[in-house]
Structure 1
Amino acid sequence: MEETISLKEIVDVLKKRMKMILLITVIAAAISGVVSFFVLTPIYQSSTQLLVNQSQSDQQYVDVNQVRTNVELINTYNEIIKSPFILDKVIDELSLEQTHAELNGQVNVTSAQNSQVIEVTVEDPNPSKAAEIANGIASVFQTEIVEIMNVDNVNILSVADVSDDPSPVKPNPTLNIAIAIVIGLMVGVGLAFLLEYMDNTIKTEHDIEKHLGLPVLGTIARMPEEETKATRRRTRQMAMRGETIESK
């Protein structure tokens, strides 16, 4: 026979295992907070912007077609900026102790659609170093693109700098804790229903009807422990006096 579960049974399971669910959620949030604040290394971000415009030799012939050509070059420039040719020169110029592959993982190059501005963003545990690398990449690219593409159409629009009180972009403790709370609740609820599913013991008359398919003819109430102790005490006292217990 196909078994179904009612909303009341779901609520009963959640109430029954509420302490466990809350405990798992609190533990998950605590672990996430400890890892976010004391284990993960703070990462800082710094950005510089490059403007791709018409080549200097054609300054007097500024037109829409020239601008469109520069915009189409953006994707090519984005790849060149992160190429080993550029990054190796940046590593040598700044005396960085990392490979171009490692530096590539720290660099993100973006540009808005139909925009002539390229943004170079660098992430590093040291905010000053992040700004230094971003400015180094912009400077090297501006110099080398003249030989690579045989055009001089890149200008540095803004340089990367370090604020007086830089804030890390990651980790985000608030977001991490919120995610941990959601995951903790999901794990707790899932575990609650798993334990309930695996628990095949019979505890109530409803369980008898559900699992055995037998009607319940009657039940024996459980006497409170205080009444049980009082009855035993009266029985012992009457036995010591040689009296008999009259049934009422």
Structure 2
Amino acid sequence: MEETISLKEIMEVLKKRFGLIFLLIIGAALISGLVTYFFITPTYQSSSQFIVNQKSTESDQVDYNEIRSNVEIINTYNVVIRSPRILDEVINELDLTISAGTLREKINVGSEQNSQVVTVTATDPDPAIAVAIANKTVEIFQQDIGDLMNVDNVSVLSEAELDADPSPVNPKPMLNIVIALVVGAMAGVGLAFLLEYLDNTLKTEQDVEQKLGLPVIGAISHIKESDLSSVQYQSPNMRKRERGTFSG
């Protein structure tokens, strides 16, 4: 027979395991905060932009509008910017101690749909290095694109600048803590229902009837210590009254 659980039973389980759920939520938030503030290295971003103006050189008579769209040209440029040909020169110019593959992971190139403006974004733990990488990448790309594709249609639109008080883009403490709270709550609720499912002890008369199939003919009430102390406190007076009645 298929078992069902009511909303009341769900609330009873949550109320019963509230302490466990609360501890998991607080523990997840504390761990997230400690990891975010003490174990994750902050990273900074800086962006430089250039514009593709579709102007070809005199030696190149090819009309780009006839063979490819603006988006296709920009997509090609996006690949060239992050190629080892460009990145190796950036590493040499800035005296970086990383490989072209590592530098490639630090650079993101993108543009809005149907836009001729391309944004080069660099990420690094040092904000000054992020600015230098973004500007130098665009500079070298602008210098080399003429030799690579025999065109001169790239102009720098805006250079990356170092702010007086740069703010890291990662990690995001509040976001991480909120995510940890949600994950902790989900884990706590899941663990609460798992423990309740694994608990096969008999607690109520209904459990005896449902699981054992036996009728309940009586129940022993639970007596608290306060009830016992109250009985012990009253018994001397009762005995005294009984003695007084007997002697009279």
Q: Using structure 1 for the length normalisation, give the TM-score.
A: 0.88
Q: Which amino acid aligns with 1:157?
A: L
Equivalent residue pairs, number:
239
Q: What secondary structure is seen at the aligned counterpart in 2 of 1:20?
A: helix
Gaps of 5+ in 1: 244-248
Which runs of 4 or more aligned residues in structure 1 lie more than 4 Å from their structure 2 counterparts after TM superposition? 232-239
Q: Deviations over 1:153-191 (max 9, x none)?
A: 111110001111111011111110010000000000000
CA distance in structure 2 between the aligned counterparts of 1:167 and 1:3, rounded to whole angstroms: 54
- 1:70/1:53 Cα in 2 relative to 1: closer, same or farther (>3 Å)? farther
Contact kept in structure 1, 2:70 and 2:114, CA below 8 Å = no
Q: CA deviation at 1:143?
A: 0.4
Moved more, 230-239 or 85-94: 230-239
CA distance in structure 2 between the aligned counterparts of 1:210 and 1:5, rounded to whole angstroms: 14
Q: Is 2:135 the counterpart of 1:135?
A: yes
Correspondence for 2:14: 14
Q: Deviations over 1:63-109 (max 9, x none)?
A: 9948x744431000000000011101110111100000000000000
CA distance in structure 1 between the aligned counterparts of 2:102 and 2:11, rounded to whole angstroms: 52
- 1:231/1:71 Cα in 2 relative to 1: closer, same or farther (>3 Å)? closer
CA distance in structure 2 between the aligned counterparts of 1:40 and 1:135, rounded to whole angstroms: 26
Correspondence for 1:196: 196
Q: CA deviation at 1:5?
A: 1.4
CA distance in structure 1 between the aligned counterparts of 2:187 and 2:130, rounded to whole angstroms: 39
Q: What secondary structure is seen at the aligned counterpart in 2 of 1:162?
A: coil
Q: What secondary structure is seen at the aligned counterpart in 2 of 1:47?
A: strand
Contact kept in structure 2, 1:53 and 1:70, CA below 8 Å = no
Q: Which amino acid aligns with 1:147?
A: D
Contact kept in structure 1, 2:54 and 2:64, CA below 8 Å = no
Q: Which amino acid aligns with 2:207?
A: D
Correspondence for 2:226: 226
Contact kept in structure 2, 1:48 and 1:134, CA below 8 Å = yes
Q: What secondary structure is seen at the aligned counterpart in 2 of 1:206?
A: helix
Correspondence for 1:105: 105
Q: CA deviation at 1:237?
A: 9.6
Q: Which amino acid aligns with 2:103?
A: L
Percentage of matched positions with identical amino acids: 54
Q: What secondary structure is seen at the aligned counterpart in 2 of 1:128?
A: helix
Contact kept in structure 2, 1:86 and 1:140, CA below 8 Å = yes
CA distance in structure 1 between the aligned counterparts of 2:51 and 2:186, rounded to whole angstroms: 48
Q: CA deviation at 1:235?
A: 6.6
For the aligned residue pairs, the C-alpha RMSD in angstroms reads 2.4
Gaps of 5+ in 2: 244-248
Q: Which amino acid aligns with 1:39?
A: F
Correspondence 1:65-144 to 2 at 5 A: 65=65, 69-144=69-144
Correspondence for 1:30: 30
Correspondence for 2:155: 155
CA distance in structure 1 between the aligned counterparts of 2:56 and 2:231, rounded to whole angstroms: 107
Correspondence for 1:47: 47
Contact kept in structure 1, 2:57 and 2:150, CA below 8 Å = no
CA distance in structure 2 between the aligned counterparts of 1:69 and 1:203, rounded to whole angstroms: 74
CA distance in structure 2 between the aligned counterparts of 1:207 and 1:236, rounded to whole angstroms: 41
Q: What secondary structure is seen at the aligned counterpart in 1 of 2:51?
A: strand
Contact kept in structure 2, 1:90 and 1:136, CA below 8 Å = yes
Q: Which amino acid aligns with 1:44?
A: Y
CA distance in structure 2 between the aligned counterparts of 1:145 and 1:205, rounded to whole angstroms: 83
